[in-house]
Amino acid sequence: MSYPGPVEYDQGAPAVRAVYDDIMHTRQVDDVNNFWKFIANHLPTLARTWHSLKDIMAPGALDPLVKELLYVAVSVTNNCAYCVASHTAAARRAGMTDEMFGELLAVVGMANETNRLAVGYRVPIDPAFE
Amino acid sequence: MSYPGPVEYDQGAPAVRAVYDDIMHTRQVDDVNNFWKFIANHLPTLARTWHSLKDIMAPGALDPLVKELLYVAVSVTNNCAYCVASHTAAARRAGMTDEMFGELLAVVGMANETNRLAVGYRVPIDPAFE
Amino acid sequence: MSYPGPVEYDQGAPAVRAVYDDIMHTRQVDDVNNFWKFIANHLPTLARTWHSLKDIMAPGALDPLVKELLYVAVSVTNNCAYCVASHTAAARRAGMTDEMFGELLAVVGMANETNRLAVGYRVPIDPAFE
Amino acid sequence: MSYPGPVEYDQGAPAVRAVYDDIMHTRQVDDVNNFWKFIANHLPTLARTWHSLKDIMAPGALDPLVKELLYVAVSVTNNCAYCVASHTAAARRAGMTDEMFGELLAVVGMANETNRLAVGYRVPIDPAFE
Amino acid sequence: MSYPGPVEYDQGAPAVRAVYDDIMHTRQVDDVNNFWKFIANHLPTLARTWHSLKDIMAPGALDPLVKELLYVAVSVTNNCAYCVASHTAAARRAGMTDEMFGELLAVVGMANETNRLAVGYRVPIDPAFE
Amino acid sequence: MSYPGPVEYDQGAPAVRAVYDDIMHTRQVDDVNNFWKFIANHLPTLARTWHSLKDIMAPGALDPLVKELLYVAVSVTNNCAYCVASHTAAARRAGMTDEMFGELLAVVGMANETNRLAVGYRVPIDPAFE
């Protein structure tokens, strides 16, 4: 068959299970979502992506809610349906309210508009911004 | 000449000056940046864009710093050089530290990567996300 | 050398010159613009691109001005600086006024905004549109 | 629930109904399409988007058909399925024929191709275009 | 009806059938896939697209497998579901293994990440690359 | 200052120098290019990006030249000028000829065109591709 399906926990090699276990433990969930089960078809991608994501999304100078909002902003801009759904859910878990969601999409929409106005009018960068 | 240049304050019609005055007053600055001077070539665009932006970027459920971070995230994803420069400057004024900037770009980079992994592996949306 | 430079008329092979001649004759100009001189580094690309473009941009059900406006709309959305500059110039030659240019960019900006709102709110297609 | 559903007319607050009424009156239709029902979850977005769109898409230097063609061009370039469906329908209502639609997509396809050739060959902007 | 459906072989004008015959003969298949049946609604687009694609994807300095991998890389980056499915299938037929597919998506993901880091940090081009 | 500049070797903390040393050793070069010097402003990003890239771009089922061609294809599609310049140079070092470069850009251009035709005609995925 031409397209790889999900790698369920029971089918996974020990190295796959180890990543799944770490995801479930870190996130305090009973199962990993489809994203991980599909990229598990390439073990180096599974392991690297999880370790990178775990590190990047951890609390730091920006808190986890802000990081999830940023993730949604990028995913909406790129029109990634899976990513919009999964990261909106994650943002909800991190505390995003309905009002925050409305404002988030308003900013994302406006930024996409003004980005094109800046390009279309060929606006030169102000010296003050350099 | 084929391309419109900046509309400086002294050249602007009264309706243009009124928008510039409101921008300068709202932001407590002495001049408007190039973006406004170029889109001022089309008055309806100048007026509508300013009124929309003023409304959207005001403090609400999300604070101004978070909104500027979101703006940078979209602008980087769209590769808009002017927008990256101007909204990074705005985020700095709103309190973005070097560490926040580093984490912001790390999230934006990672989101752009996993967006493509989700598309490439054709990951179906989990029922739990619907 | 790592990057190919422009292929000037005098340097071009006969097949390159033949394409340049047809461009200059069709457009009634004395020289071809840089786009053609650079893609001339790969003759099949030069010939195919010119023949496709000549065919697609010819008057048809849509007139040349509308086609150039569409070209600018795509180029702005993709943030292609060269393409924005060259097709804005072409639209000017085809009759685009300052007011048309202002309205064009307003539509392009708005479309980029509502595209993201539709994605962010995951709006299902109305049965009436199918 | 994690994702907001459509706000039907009967469920809407008076301010939502007022926007819906204006959309139905302006467009001479019996119901608003899903786009409006979903963004109605954030009233400021609903009101601002409608007022901006009503203004931008009104007849001006460019006629409504051309504006809808531009909207489709942007929506196809951004790969927004909802927007392609809804604005193709709007373009049909504004007079787009099958032949116009075919030429529209031909231009959009070609523009996306030559945009990348210009970037890949790093073509410098001709002095004549500045 | 507002949207054109597929043009099946039996419905096609002779010029459409001639293109379909050439596709089936060139690829040694019994039917053409949906892409061709839909773009056949505009004969010039069908003919030009097939002749361009046949030329571009033929063996040359790059072999057909590499060309299909490049096609998948672009399609994933653009988030075109149809294109990802069809060109992944084509790459499989040209010899892409599971391991190659995994590495392909890893490169595509990483390139999308570092593209944004380069933009976000506004990295100037090294003189050595010019 | 609003924007971070390059972190030169002499200015770098020991952890930064260790990454630079590994890059220079792995690539057999005397200095690291600007990309690394700018992302070095955020050490976790520098370290993670290098380790990921080193792993992903190593010879595997796909050889280094093919991987660099894929990187260029993504970078051109995303319109990242820095990335196009740096990865074209890398592809040259890995053996890309002028003819390969011409074919690469031809495929990238064509894929960007047909991606939009597939979206614009709303082509459904063939059952054979599922």
- Asked if pLDDT for residue A1 goes beyond 60, the answer is no
C8 vs chain E: nearest CA distance in angstroms?
20
Give the span between the Cα atoms of E53 and D109, in whole angstroms: 13
E102 vs chain A: nearest CA distance in angstroms?
5
Q: Is residue C130 part of a domain?
A: no
Confidence bin at A2 (pLDDT 50/70/90): low
User: Which of C43, C48, C77 to probe the E interface (max E CBs under 10 A)?
Assistant: C48
More confident residue, C1 or A49: A49
Confidence bin at D130 (pLDDT 50/70/90): confident
Tell me whether A129 touches chain B (CB under 8 Å): yes
Give pLDDT, residue E2.
64
Last residue of a domain, one of B14, B30, B56: B56
Tell me whether D26 touches chain C (CB under 8 Å): no
A18 with A44, same domain: the answer is: yes
Return the half-sphere exposure (C-beta side, CA atoms, 13 A cut-off) of residue C11.
Answer: 8
D51 with D83, same domain: the answer is: no
D42 with D71, same domain: the answer is: no
Give strand ranges (E) for chain A: none
Q: How far is CA C89 from CA B41, B122, D125, F111, in A?
A: 17, 41, 11, 27
End-to-end CA distance of chain C: 53
Give the span between the Cα atoms of C27 and A9, in whole angstroms: 64
The 3-class SS string of chain B reads CCCCCCCCHHHCCHHHHHHHHHHHHHHCCCCCCHHHHHHCCCHHHHHHHHHHHHHHCCCCCCCHHHHHHHHHHHHHHHCCHHHHHHHHHHHHHCCCCHHHHHHHHHHHHHHHHHHHHHHHCCCCCCHHHC
Q: Which residues contact E30 (CB under 8 A, 6 or more apart)?
A: E24
The 3-class SS string of C91-109 reads HHHCCCCHHHHHHHHHHHH
Q: Name the percent of chain B lying above pLDDT 70.
A: 98
Identify the helix (H) or strand (E) that includes residue D111.
helix D98-120
Residue E58, classified by CB atoms within 10 Å of its CB into exposed (0-12), middle (13-18) or buried (19+), is exposed
Confidence bin at D1 (pLDDT 50/70/90): very low
B67 with B107, same domain: the answer is: yes
D9 with D39, same domain: the answer is: yes
Tell me whether C44 touches chain F (CB under 8 Å): yes
Give pLDDT, residue B3.
83
Give the span between the Cα atoms of C97 and D41, in whole angstroms: 39
Tell me whether A84 touches chain C (CB under 8 Å): yes
Tell me whether D99 touches chain C (CB under 8 Å): yes
Chain A residue numbers with beta carbons less than 8 Å from the beta carbon of F48 are 52, 55-56
Confidence bin at B101 (pLDDT 50/70/90): very high
Tell me whether A52 touches chain F (CB under 8 Å): yes
Q: How far is CA D16 from CA D36, D52, D56, F32, F123, in A?
A: 10, 16, 21, 57, 35
Rg (CA), chain A: 18
Chain C residue numbers with beta carbons less than 8 Å from the beta carbon of B48 are 106
Count of CB contacts below 8 A, A vs B? 192
E99 vs chain F: nearest CA distance in angstroms?
6
D32 with D85, same domain: the answer is: no
E76 vs chain C: nearest CA distance in angstroms?
16
Question: Does residue A102 contact residue B55 with C-beta atoms inside 8 Å?
Answer: no
Among the listed residues A45, B127, A6, B118, the one whose alpha carbon sits nearest the alpha carbon of residue A19: A45
B47 with B79, same domain: the answer is: no
Chain B residue numbers with beta carbons less than 8 Å from the beta carbon of D55 are 44, 48
- Asked if pLDDT for residue D2 goes beyond 80, the answer is no
**Whole-number average pLDDT of chain C:** 96
Give the span between the Cα atoms of B50 and D24, in whole angstroms: 27
Q: Which domain holds residue A30?
A: 1-56
**Whole-number average pLDDT of chain E:** 96
Question: Does residue F106 contact residue E56 with C-beta atoms inside 8 Å?
Answer: yes
- Domain tally, chain B: 2
Which tens digit of pLDDT belongs to each residue from D54-107?
999 999 999 999 999 999 999 999 999 999 999 999 999 999 999 999 999 999
Question: Does residue C98 contact residue D59 with C-beta atoms inside 8 Å?
Answer: no
F27 with F50, same domain: the answer is: yes
Are A76 and C108 a contacting pair at CB < 8 A? no
**C43-48 average pLDDT score:** 98
Collapsing DSSP to helix, strand or coil, C47 comes out as helix
Which tens digit of pLDDT belongs to each residue from E2-41?
689 999 999 999 999 999 999 999 999 999 999 999 999 9
Binding partners of F (≥3 Cβ pairs within 8 A)? A, B, C, D, E
Are C45 and F105 a contacting pair at CB < 8 A? yes
Question: Does residue B15 contact residue B40 with C-beta atoms inside 8 Å?
Answer: no
Last residue of a domain, one of B56, B81, B100: B56
E64 with E39, same domain: the answer is: no
Tell me whether C8 touches chain D (CB under 8 Å): no
**C74-80 average pLDDT score:** 98
**C111-121 average pLDDT score:** 98
The distance of Cα A25 from the centroid of its chain, to the nearest Å, equals: 19
Binding partners of D (≥3 Cβ pairs within 8 A)? A, B, C, E, F
B43 with B82, same domain: the answer is: no
Q: Which residues contact C102 (CB under 8 A, 6 or more apart)?
A: B41, B42, B44, B45, D61
Cα angle at E31 between E30 and E36, to 5 degrees? 150
Tokens (6 digits) for A95: 């505390």
Q: Is the ipTM above a cut-off of 0.95?
A: yes
Output DSSP code: residue F50. H
Nearest to D120 among F84, F115, F120 (CB): F84
- Indicate the length of chain A as a whole number: 130
A98 vs chain F: nearest CA distance in angstroms?
32
Confidence bin at C2 (pLDDT 50/70/90): low
CATH code of the domain containing F75: 1.20.1290.10
The distance of Cα A106 from the centroid of its chain, to the nearest Å, equals: 19
Q: Classify the phi-psi angles of A74: left when phi > 0, otherwise alpha if psi is within -120 to 50, otherwise beta.
A: alpha
E50 with E107, same domain: the answer is: no
Last residue of a domain, one of B56, B76, B103: B56
Calculate helix-pair angle for F43-56, F14-27, nearest 10 degrees.
20
Q: Which residues contact C122 (CB under 8 A, 6 or more apart)?
A: A81, A84, A85, D3, D38
Question: Does residue B70 contact residue A74 with C-beta atoms inside 8 Å?
Answer: no
Are C120 and A72 a contacting pair at CB < 8 A? yes
F127 with F70, same domain: the answer is: yes
